[in-house]
Amino acid sequence: MEIKEPIRIAQIMGKLWGGGVESVVFNYYRAIDKSKIQFDFYYDSDSTVAPPPDLIAMGANFYEIPPYQKLVPYCSTLKKILREKKYIVVHSHINTLSVIPLFIAWTEKVPVRIAHNHSVPGGKEFSRNALKNFLRKFSKLFPTDYFACSEKAGRWLFGNRSFDNGKVVVIKNGIDFQRFMPGEEIVEEKRNSLGLKNKFVVGHIGRFTYAKNHKFLFEIFAEILKQKENAMLMLVGDGELHAELKKQAETLGILEHMVFTGQVSDPENYYRLANVMIFPSFFEGLPLTTIESQVAGVPVAVSEAIPKEAVISNGCKHISLRAGAKTWALESILLSEKRVNLTVKSEAYDIRKCSGELTEWYYSKIQAREMRK
């Protein structure tokens, strides 16, 4: 099929807050052949992070719309946009909430409507989980196609039958490997500026939310500190639990051994500051941070919530949350001594390969539509 100009895909992002989902989609955009495909990003007006300037310079459009909590203005604004733009493809990344924008896309007869699930529910967030389970019943009504970041995420939202029948496409959380291998000069500069020189650094990158289980992370670090007097906990990110977590750190007596970087624009430059990364999450889809840590050559201890697809080296170890903080601490210290070697599974996460596959998928759908005309 001859394409004279790039095809614009509407990417429904929800809120921009420096989280994993936008990192995944932005990674794809940076790597995709922009002579063939361009992205228009739609994001909520109450986002906490601004659109990345480098993406705008590459030709991406960012459109601010009312937050989905304000349902009527959200729907009316999106309906007007889709009617004007006449997209062939609308790709929604807001998990169970994708039912809302994809319903609007269905009413506007957008031919290709993708529901992309990036997470699974879990833990004790009863009200949120109740809403997710309710919306899940409608997850297959309006999309024409189903995407998921992992098998677990695909089965949860779209069902075992859809997954086993090949109706769910697993889209890898691809990354640019070179970005996670910064020069030693950059690493040394970061280490000095954060006061981490000659320290045993435990790292964590992620939003301060319930799902990430920072409270248990702090308990693990308190145990590590008993074994490593020079230990420091580096927390990259921020979120609604910031104040509560600082109080817990004070109670545990570990606050003076912690570094809070806040949200950063270059997380790729922080992994190699750590001796070991720890992610004791209650629930996850497929966290980009686990993949990135291994690519950066830093061993990582993860909870059983992290799917098996995330293990792409000899340096990733699953530990049960039931094992307790002391076990996690000992295992993490042992893990820190490992030299990380990537396996052949890591090749599937190369963003150049992933973006090429996504481009082919978009084109196959568009071509099929053209042939039916």
Same domain, 303 and 185: yes
Question: Do 256 and 266 fall within a single domain?
Answer: yes
Same domain, 91 and 232: no
Q: Are 251 and 215 in contact (CB under 8 A)?
A: no
321 in a structural domain: yes
Do residues 303 and 213 touch, judged by C-beta distance below 8 A?
A: yes
Q: Which of 353, 300, 263, 288 has its CA nearest to residue 119?
A: 288
Closest CA to 43 of 64, 18, 17, 71: 64
Per the CB < 8 A criterion, the answer to whether 82 and 105 are in contact is: yes
**Does the structure show a pLDDT above 60 at 4?**
yes
Contacts from 305-312 at CB under 8 Å and sequence distance 24+?
305/122, 305/281, 306/279, 306/281, 307/150, 307/151, 307/152, 307/153, 309/150, 309/151, 310/150, 310/286, 311/345, 312/342, 312/343, 312/345, 312/346, 312/349
Same domain as 181, residue 161: no
pLDDT of residue 2: 56
Query: Does residue 311 fall inside a structural domain?
Result: yes
Indicate whether 191 and 337 sit together in one domain. Answer: yes
Dist CA 149 CA 277 (whole Å): 22
Statement to judge: residues 99 and 203 lie in one domain: no
118-127, 204-213, 265-274, 275-284: least confidently modelled range: 118-127
Q: What is the pLDDT of residues 305-325, one digit of tens each?
A: 999 999 999 999 999 999 999
Q: Per-residue pLDDT for 224 more than 60?
A: yes
Residue 322 lies in domain:
177-348
pLDDT tier at 367 (50, 70, 90 boundaries)?
A: confident
The reply to whether 200 and 159 lie within a common domain is: no
| pLDDT of 130 above 90 | no
Say if residue 205 is in the same domain as residue 76.
no
Check whether 343 has a pLDDT greater than 60.
Answer: yes
pTM: 0.87
Strand partners, 236: 205, 262
Kindly state whether residue 124 falls inside one of the protein's structural domains: yes
DSSP line for 98-154 = GHHHHHHHHHTT-SEEEEEE-----TT-HHHHHHHHHHHTTTTTS-SEEEESSHHHH
Residues 59 and 97 grouped into a single domain: yes
Q: Are residues 213 and 274 located together in one domain of the fold? A: yes
Q: How far apart are the first and last CA of the chain?
A: 14
Q: Which residues pair with 84 in a beta bridge?
A: none
233-248, pLDDT tens digit by residue? 999 999 889 999 999 9
Instruction: Find the Cα–Cα–Cα–Cα dihedral 85, 91, 93, 96, rounded to 10°.
Output: 100
Residue 1 falls within a domain, yes or no? no
Q: Which of 126-130, 156-160, 222-226 has the lowest mean pLDDT?
A: 126-130
Residue % of the chain over a pLDDT of 70: 96
Higher pLDDT, 329 or 264: 329
For the chain, strand residue ranges (E) read 7-14, 37-44, 61-65, 89-92, 112-117, 145-148, 168-170, 200-205, 231-236, 258-262, 276-279, 300-302, 316-318
* Nearest alpha carbon to residue 270 among 210, 339, 336, 202: 202
> Do 316 and 362 lie in a common domain?
no
Q: Are residues 242 and 191 in the same domain?
A: yes
2 within some domain: no
The domain that holds 320 is classified in CATH as: 3.40.50.2000
Domain count for the chain: 2
